[in-house]
């Protein structure tokens, strides 16, 4: 991994964002745990995601479904037969590798989607040997990435850990359609764990065996969906896009929504691309040049994805643009598949027609997004380390300090801390110099600090400090809560505060 | 199950709280999915729990850890060798049963903790035969309740789905102790899934194979913990308690905290019992007579639990007092066990001593708590069905209706709905009579409704209606948000609103 990876992971471990799981026993490859700061950052990301994406429709809801699914349901979805990677095992040291990764390491070109025969041919052609011991590689074979689980006292009810959260939405669609009074579009979102038995999880947080997904499945009537959406509201918005065949870095071109629609991508799809881009640029504050949609070609995408763009963020810790999510037009593949396998009618009445809903999936890897933010926002400049997280996502909203730990200042600061604590993630600290305390807050991304000093005892004002600029203003202690609320919710800019309090 | 169970489950399925998972394929025994209302109720319960219990200390935090744990860590915790139930299989129909349940069904007395030899003897003595086919039962044997998972391309890295969230806290204690600047007590909470391969999950939502736990592990120095807590603040508080040996219904007696401490229960333990009881009576509004702590005797509790009371709620749907959580004094069992197995020193410095922290565990079953609330709060009185959830937990905070769907009323009501939506879980509805709309909201526990009528167009006032009393008052439309906030956060009582708006 690039050295940037180590910098970000070192911050993560030291301060409590995340680290390899079960490291007490030497670690567990492909598994990571979130510490107290990471858990809060992740939770805030999930809340921001939920608020934004459920807000796209007035019939969009969060549900929560089981992670263990019986085989029959995953047979119907195609995962039992097709959710495979190609496995190549060394004949000498018995280490296993993904066939496509072995080839990509030599050619530096995408090799996903090759057949076993093609992988075997490439290994011969390129003279690839075991990366670990240089031994001869055995023949490739398909390997199902789901974890099997035996349920019941004899373990005879075959099941799997879900490989994606999406199936929970498909399995519950009809029930929710009835409970929600039969309206389309209907959105069902799930934020939860999914599991893939990755052959070689050697890319840190990027390729995990247990991971978190946030997915919204929008069920719609293809005859009317486009007309139901305010597509005009994103007209001529410029999207960052790399089409299939032009994905290599640093390429991403601006294309307007109208261009994309003229190029044959459905209007409803382009509309959601625009809203996803706004989420990344406006809410997560990802720099424009580090964001793009990358189209997958027919070979790379699942056969039932009619249109598929990855959502990618360029991260120095991972060596370039990497996937953090995707927008997938799944057509009626899922509902029709479950209707056929279950023998139930899953079509729904719309006016006087029977409609098998189509699905647009907005899919996000939560861990990948959290990591991308840590990568993009962590600035190491000489002595100073600052994590420039958007204020709404910072694990700690505000640090509260007495300038000195004497003369009644700690009591006053603690009182302010207790006042702020119900409404904010506040942190109280009186140890070390004030400069050290600010530095500790900067490093974990705390956007604001409030300091109580001698003047506070006289006139009740406190110092309010902003993380990114180190700028400071004096404000009345009684106004701190209201000012913080406005700053965190981005209703107000820090630079406006100084003059606002200059006139009492 | 009692008929009350069916009433509550029928509401749950019809309106979208919860239902058996994967029912499209005939269901999956021991697994339940949450619909859109249940997911929101559960999320609010989790938020309330997190706010309350993390608030018990200023060094208490949420973390999030993996659900798949390698065998070595669960060997160290004792789960690989001891986390077993006793399994009895019918020689004729091959159906399997829990040995203790077979005996309890006959004796109506607790049979947990019997050995296989004792179960075999009881089966002979009581002439118990297969409950399903009346065939002869085979010999009993221990059955490990964890789900094994094979990790890696050959599945050779043996692991299990975690049987409790607690292990994640123990495994990460030392890392967090360092990241959090070495202070005790340190609290690590996890809200997440746990898994147990129950032999016969035939008790509905109560005994699930995949379930949600909310657990707080408090790591403390036994020499000082009692003195660090404000135990006096719960002095003489009367707790509902059934001691070991007197647990059969309807027994639960009031005992003061001082009595319990005099009886030999540690002060820190009794202090936390009092705070748990306040959570149930004040926050969840469980009626006092339906709440109790039930002590487990030596045979019932895990050998490493020095003191163990179950938290129980009496539910008609489950036939009486049933466990919804527990308070467990685990001593240094966990940290010492992992220190020994990992060969690492997990003691921590406190002043000039080395301390192996003790653990107090506050453990809650999230699904069991959600179900208990549905059971307690669902009132079916003739035609009227009302779910009396505490306002802070209701999935929908407020229904917003136009009295009629004409004359500009819908536009005005929709504008109010849009204003309220960012801060509240609001629901807009204009279909059916106003009485029907109120009834639909009552049934899912919506505590307040706001109705726009002709007077609104004239003077801007709206009708605010309360669920439990059906009481109505007129308030200015512009005050609705502030009034709702106060009512939901219980800063104000609905009966106070009428007079407050009578004087303009």
Q: Does B149 sit within 8 Å of A161, measured CB to CB?
A: yes
- Tell me the count of A-B CB pairs closer than 8 A: 201
pLDDT at residue A504 in the model: 35
Which regions of A39-128 does DSSP assign to beta strands (E)? 60-62, 68-70, 84-89, 96-98
Contact A138, A123 (CB under 8 A): no
Collapsing DSSP states into helix, strand and coil, what is residue B60? Answer: strand
Tell which phi-psi region holds residue A416, choosing left (phi > 0), alpha (psi between -120 and 50) or beta: alpha
Q: What are the beta bridge partners of residue B217?
A: B188, B361
Interface test with B, best of A32, A55, A86, A172 (most B CBs within 10 A): A172
| DSSP-assigned states of every residue in A387-407 | E---GGG-S-SEEEEESSSST
What pLDDT sits at residue B249? Answer: 67
Q: Say if the Cβ atoms of B179 and A36 lie within 8 Å.
A: yes
Q: Tell whether A345 is within 8 A of chain B (Cβ).
A: no
> Residue A312 gets which letter from DSSP?
E
Which of A11, A12, A14, A24 should we substitute to test contact with B (largest number of B Cβ atoms within 10 Å)?
A24
Q: B410 and chain A: CB distance < 8 Å anywhere?
A: no
Q: Do A96 and B19 touch (CB under 8 A)?
A: no
pLDDT (0 to 100) of residue B499? 54
The CA distance from A196 to A211, in Å, is 8
A491 in reach of chain B (CB within 8 A): no
Q: Which residue of A has its CA nearest to B87?
A: A153
Q: Looking at chain B, which residue has its C-alpha nearest residue A31? A: B66
A105 or A188, which is more confident? A188
Provide the β-strand partners of residue A464: A450, A473
Higher-confidence residue of B269 and A156: namely B269
Contact A33 B64 (CB under 8 A): yes
| Contact between chains at A175 and B42 (C-beta distance less than 8 A) | no
- Angle in degrees, CA A64, A70, A75, rounded to 5: 110
Length of chain B: 504
The pLDDT of residue B169 is: 98
Among B62, B69, B193, select the one facing A36 at the smallest CB separation. Answer: B62
pLDDT digits (tens, 9 = 90+) for A330-374: 999 999 999 999 999 999 999 889 999 999 999 999 999 999 999
Are the Cβ atoms of B64 and A34 closer than 8 angstroms? yes
Would you call B65 and A338 a contact, using CB atoms and an 8 Å cutoff? no
Alpha-carbon torsion (B421, B424, B425, B431), positive or negative: negative
Residue by residue, DSSP assigns A183-252 as -SSEEEEEEEEEE---S---SGGGS-SEEEEEEEEEEE-TTTHHHHS-GGGGTT-EEEEE-TT--STT--
Return the residue of A nearest to B178 by Cα.
Answer: A14
Q: Coil, strand or helix: which one is B311? A: strand
CA A55 to chain centre: 18
Q: Report the alpha-carbon distance of residue B430 to residue A342 in Å, rounded.
A: 36
Give yes or no for a contact between B500 and B488, defined as CB atoms under 8 angstroms apart: no
CB A321 within 8 A of CB A294: yes
Q: Which residues of A touch B414 (CB under 8 A)?
A: none
Per the CB < 8 Å rule, is B66 touching A28? yes
Whether B52 has its CB under 8 Å from any CB of chain A: the answer is no
User: CA of B424: which chain A residue's CA is closest?
Assistant: A51
Q: Which of A22, A70, A193 comes nearest B69 by C-beta?
A: A22
Query: Does residue B236 contact residue B258 with C-beta atoms inside 8 Å?
Result: yes
CA–CA distance, A237 with B353 (Å, rounded to integer): 64
Planar angle of CA A172, A157, B7, nearest 5 degrees: 45
DSSP A87-103: EEEBTTT--EEEHHHHH
Q: Each residue's pLDDT tens digit in chain B (504 positions)?
A: 779 999 999 999 999 999 999 999 988 889 999 999 999 999 999 999 999 999 999 899 999 999 999 999 999 999 999 999 899 999 999 888 889 889 988 988 878 788 899 999 999 999 999 999 999 999 999 999 999 999 988 777 899 999 999 999 999 999 999 999 899 999 999 999 999 999 888 778 899 999 999 999 999 999 999 999 999 999 999 999 998 877 676 678 899 999 999 999 999 999 999 999 999 999 999 999 999 999 988 777 777 778 899 999 999 999 999 999 999 999 999 999 999 999 999 999 998 899 999 999 999 999 999 999 999 999 998 888 999 999 999 999 999 999 988 889 999 999 999 999 888 999 999 999 999 999 999 999 999 999 999 999 999 999 999 999 999 999 999 999 999 999 998 888 888 887 554 433
Chain A, window 71-110: residues with a beta carbon less than 8 angstroms from a chain B beta carbon: 72-73, 76, 87, 89, 96
- A114-132 per-position pLDDT tens digit: 889 999 999 999 999 999 9
Q: Which residues 171-200 of B are in CB contact (within 8 Å) with A? A: 171-172, 174-176, 179-180, 188, 193, 195, 197, 199
Contact A291, A279 (CB under 8 A): no
Number of Cβ within 10 Å of residue A415's Cβ equals 13
To the nearest whole Å, the CA of A499 is away from the closest chain B CA by 29
Report yes or no for ipTM above 0.85: yes
């Amino acid at each position: 991994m690039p050295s940037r990876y180590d910098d970000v992971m070192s911050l993560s471990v030291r301060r409590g964002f995340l680290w390899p799981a079960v490291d007490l026993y030497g670690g567990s490859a492909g598994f990571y745990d979130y510490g107290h700061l990471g858990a809060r950052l992740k939770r805030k990301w999930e809340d921001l995601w939920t608020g934004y994406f459920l807000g796209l429709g007035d019939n969009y809801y969060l549900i929560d479904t089981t992670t263990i699914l019986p085989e029959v349901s995953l047979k119907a979805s195609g995962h039992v037969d097709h959710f495979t990677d190609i496995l190549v095992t060394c004949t000498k040291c018995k280490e296993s590798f993904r066939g496509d990764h072995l080839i990509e390491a030599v050619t530096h070109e995408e090799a996903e989607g090759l057949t076993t025969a093609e992988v075997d041919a490439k290994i011969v052609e390129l003279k690839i040997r075991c990366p670990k011991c240089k031994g001869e590689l055995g023949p490739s074979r398909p390997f199902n990435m789901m974890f099997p689980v035996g349920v019941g006292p004899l373990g005879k009810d075959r099941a799997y850990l879900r490989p994606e959260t999406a199936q929970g939405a498909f399995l519950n669609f009809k029930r929710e359609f009835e409970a929600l009074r039969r309206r389309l579009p209907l959105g069902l979102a799930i934020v939860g764990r999914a599991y893939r038995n990755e052959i070689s999880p050697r890319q840190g947080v990027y390729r995990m065996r247990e991971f978190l997904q946030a997915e919204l499945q929008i069920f719609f009537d293809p005859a009317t969906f486009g007309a139901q959406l305010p597509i005009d509201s994103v007209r001529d918005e410029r999207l960052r896009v790399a089409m299939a065949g032009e994905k290599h870095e640093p390429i991403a071109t601006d294309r307007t929504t109208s261009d994309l629609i003229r190029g044959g991508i459905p209007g409803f799809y382009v509309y959601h691309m625009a809203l996803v881009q706004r989420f990344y640029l406006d809410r997560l504050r990802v720099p424009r040049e580090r964001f793009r949609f990358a189209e997958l070609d027919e070979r790379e995408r699942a056969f039932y994805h009619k249109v598929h763009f990855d959502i990618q963020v360029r991260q120095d810790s991972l060596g370039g643009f990497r996937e953090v999510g995707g927008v997938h037009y799944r057509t009626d593949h899922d509902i029709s598949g479950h209707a056929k396998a279950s023998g139930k009618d899953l079509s729904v009445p719309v006016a006087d027609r029977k409609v098998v809903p189509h699905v647009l999936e907005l899919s996000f890897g939560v861990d990948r997004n959290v990591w991308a933010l840590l990568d993009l926002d962590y600035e190491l400049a000489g002595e100073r380390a600052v994590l420039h997280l958007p204020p709404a996502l910072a694990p700690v909203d505000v640090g509260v300090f007495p300038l000195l730990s004497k003369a009644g200042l700690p009591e006053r600061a603690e009182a302010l801390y207790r006042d702020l604590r119900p409404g904010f993630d506040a942190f109280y600290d009186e140890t070390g110099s004030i400069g050290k305390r600010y530095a500790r807050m900067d490093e974990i991304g705390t956007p604001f600090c409030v300091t109580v000093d001698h003047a506070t005892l006289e006139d009740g004002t406190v110092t309010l400090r902003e993380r990114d600029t180190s700028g400071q203003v004096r404000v009345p202690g009684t106004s701190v809560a209201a000012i913080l609320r406005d700053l965190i919710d981005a209703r107000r800019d820090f630079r406006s505060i100084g003059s606002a309090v200059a006139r009492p």
